[in-house]
Chain A
């Protein structure tokens, strides 16, 4: 883990509402894209989403952070009107998903976790046909498709089938597809899972551009860095509930110290050292491979550790991240 530069997301925070996507017209309650109260999803006995509350403002990038099975995807599917709600209330773009599903979906772009691209069609036809599903007229759509191919950097692949595309290309195509109807709300479920770092950065760049255009983004992810990079505000989900909510910096401030000292000892020594050094930090986390000391003065704490005669194999002082927030809130680390 290394020192992370502050993501550019900070400068976009609470950017201008509305702008070009003037879709929020009739029915939209002032500036709120999605409003959930006591939102619940049950599958038989199992409660996937357990009475969660959140508001997503128009034009912001809102994140759902959590491990697999935390209830993120179920929440996404309810917002996208793909899953009837089991309890509570939900309003999307001022409409009721249970009643106005098609109308809401016509204004949403969905990037599902598995791309669901049409394997029997070419890249271009995937975009074209998706636009047709939204009822866009053919001629207009053809121009639009070329623009989106450019946006997704897939123009050269336009006449190929989808199969031979790399994971990153498929993801970009899926995002371009979600934009074909110029949606005012784009939902992205794990947009960069399984991509290499280069492909992820290219995708993030495309998402920044969208946000700059005023599109509301709803993102689920289990990558901390992604959440910090992209999201203005986020909620941490755990076992179907919201464990915390706020901007990335607020969350770090609220749930973690400013800095973290990471220590590595011989694997069997972490527990013992954790107990010995507990009084040097506000909080200590013992992980299988390392020891985390939460403190506001990292260097001072590290000196204190050394003066106690503890000699870690490796030591590192870093700023706290959302990973630490998550660890604190759920007691589990959020690795893949």
Chain B
């Protein structure tokens, strides 16, 4: 047997006074994810490159073949057209992965949240903390992508400084939505639904070409999907083609993220504190 005594005596720690317990500790979930990713940083870093490769491939490779596109009365090169769309999908990708696979693993497989809830933290801390993490990851991707866009001279307007908060809204929306959906998933098989949603969104939400190519009814269907809202918002800001519609897009995304957060919070309470 080890000779070490019980450390209770050697270092008596007083638990902090119970002020604000169960509130405002969401940042600890973020701290957890930072520590967890210290060994898996390559997952974080590599995730950024996929949209970048698409930008260089489809954006640059097809630039000459597509030529110029008309937007808001002016005509812009195809690369300029596709870049903000890919920024939106980068923000989506950055947020969605941890909000779905990551949360499911912690919720159902590793039972990480069961352990967390045995501490002073509450479900709301868990929901806010995890969404904050998704948002941070999405934001980091967005900053990196915007930097590349600037370096390639793809930023056409000063309004583009608003692209970062707008991209964060996209991350917020998809993070909240992903987290909410994940709370209802039963097994890994259900995650086919995630890519079944993400891949068509990526391909058909106007990232690569205007919706005017679609028949009328399909256009309306796509316009209510969240990625389209993000693409439209970012493209408007990046190209400087503004209008009140941009505010509508922003409100839509904010509302979606908030709904996801509240819903996920409730559902997590049901699941974890029966």
Touching chains A and B, CB distance < 8 Å: yes
Residues of chain A touching chain B, judged by Cβ–Cβ distance below 8 Å, are 20-21, 23, 43, 80, 82-84, 100-103, 105-108, 110, 112, 114, 116-121, 125, 128-130, 132-136, 140, 143-144, 147-148, 150-151, 153, 177, 179, 181-182, 202, 205-206, 209-210, 212-213, 215
Interface contact A108-B118, CB-CB below 8 Å? yes
Contacts of B14 in A (CB 8 A): 182
Contacts of B40 in A (CB 8 A): 120
Q: Beta-carbon contacts of B12-47 to A below 8 Å, as 1s and 0s?
A: 111110100110010010011001100010000000
Interface contact A116-B119, CB-CB below 8 Å? no
A118 contact from B7, B11, B110, B274, Cβ within 8 A: B110
Interface contact B4-A150, CB-CB below 8 Å? yes
Number of contact residues on B: which range applies? 35 or more
Interface contact B1-A112, CB-CB below 8 Å? no
Distance in Å: Cβ of A18 to nearest Cβ of chain B: 13
Contacts of A140 in B (CB 8 A): 11, 13
Q: Known: A112-B118, A147-B10, A213-B6. Contact between A118 and B15, CB under 8 A?
A: no
Interface contact A147-B115, CB-CB below 8 Å? no
| B111 interfacial by beta-carbon distance below 8 Å | yes
Distance in Å: Cβ of B100 to nearest Cβ of chain A: 16
B13 contact from A117, A121, A181, Cβ within 8 A: A181
CA distance A80 to B119 in the complex (A): 9
Interface contact B118-A114, CB-CB below 8 Å? no
Q: Across the two chains, which residue of chain B brings its CB closest to A211?
A: B6
Q: Beta-carbon contacts of B59-88 to A below 8 Å, as 1s and 0s?
A: 000000000000000000000000000000
Q: Known: A107-B15, A144-B7. Contact between A121 and B35, CB under 8 A?
A: yes
A116 contact from B21, B114, B273, Cβ within 8 A: B114
Contacts of B118 in A (CB 8 A): 80, 82, 105, 108, 110, 112
Contacts of B8 in A (CB 8 A): 20-21, 179, 182, 210, 213, 215
Interface contact B11-A23, CB-CB below 8 Å? no
- A-B contacts, 19 of them at CB < 8 A, read A82-B272, A82-B273, A101-B22, A101-B122, A102-B120, A105-B118, A120-B40, A120-B110, A121-B36, A129-B31, A129-B32, A129-B35, A134-B119, A147-B7, A150-B4, A151-B6, A182-B14, A209-B5, A213-B9
| B112 interfacial by beta-carbon distance below 8 Å | yes
Distance in Å: Cβ of B118 to nearest Cβ of chain A: 4
Contacts of B28 in A (CB 8 A): 129, 132-133
Q: Across the two chains, which residue of chain A brings its CB closest to B37?
A: A120
Contacts of A181 in B (CB 8 A): 13, 15, 119
Distance in Å: Cβ of A129 to nearest Cβ of chain B: 5
Interface contact B16-A135, CB-CB below 8 Å? yes
Contacts of A107 in B (CB 8 A): 15
| B189 interfacial by beta-carbon distance below 8 Å | no
Q: Beta-carbon contacts of B91-115 to A below 8 Å, as 1s and 0s?
A: 0000000000000000001111011
B273 contact from A83, A103, A213, Cβ within 8 A: A83
Q: Beta-carbon contacts of B255-274 to A below 8 Å, as 1s and 0s?
A: 00000000000000000111
Interface contact B12-A102, CB-CB below 8 Å? no
Interface contact B120-A43, CB-CB below 8 Å? no
B6 contact from A106, A130, A212, Cβ within 8 A: A212
Distance in Å: Cβ of B103 to nearest Cβ of chain A: 12
Q: Across the two chains, which residue of chain B brings its CB closest to A126?
A: B115
| B116 interfacial by beta-carbon distance below 8 Å | yes
Interface contact A135-B6, CB-CB below 8 Å? no
A209 contact from B6, B10, B21, B31, Cβ within 8 A: B6
Contacts of A133 in B (CB 8 A): 25, 28, 116, 119-121
Q: Known: A129-B35, A209-B6. Contact between A103 and B13, CB under 8 A?
A: no
* Extra pairs beyond A21-B8, A133-B28, A134-B120 (9, CB < 8 Å): A82-B118, A112-B115, A116-B114, A120-B36, A128-B35, A129-B32, A134-B16, A151-B2, A202-B1
| B117 interfacial by beta-carbon distance below 8 Å | yes
CA distance A86 to B191 in the complex (A): 35
Q: Across the two chains, which residue of chain B brings its CB closest to A212?
A: B6
Distance in Å: Cβ of A180 to nearest Cβ of chain B: 9
CA distance A147 to B8 in the complex (A): 9
Q: Known: A82-B273, A117-B115, A213-B6. Contact between A105 and B120, CB under 8 A?
A: yes
Interface contact B35-A125, CB-CB below 8 Å? yes
Ranked nearest first, the 8 interchain pairs of A and B with the lowest CB-CB distance are A102-B22, A102-B21, A147-B7, A133-B119, A103-B18, A116-B115, A110-B118, A120-B36
Q: Across the two chains, which residue of chain A brings its CB closest to B36?
A: A120
Interface contact A144-B110, CB-CB below 8 Å? no
Distance in Å: Cβ of A214 to nearest Cβ of chain B: 8
CA distance A148 to B8 in the complex (A): 9
CA distance A288 to B174 in the complex (A): 59
A112 contact from B9, B110, B114, B273, Cβ within 8 A: B114
Interface contact A118-B115, CB-CB below 8 Å? yes
B115 contact from A101, A130, A212, Cβ within 8 A: A130
Distance in Å: Cβ of B73 to nearest Cβ of chain A: 51
Q: Beta-carbon contacts of B221-245 to A below 8 Å, as 1s and 0s?
A: 0000000000000000000000000
Interface contact A116-B110, CB-CB below 8 Å? yes
Q: Known: A108-B118, A129-B32. Contact between A134 and B6, CB under 8 A?
A: no
CA distance A105 to B121 in the complex (A): 9
Contacts of A125 in B (CB 8 A): 35-36
CA distance A179 to B8 in the complex (A): 8
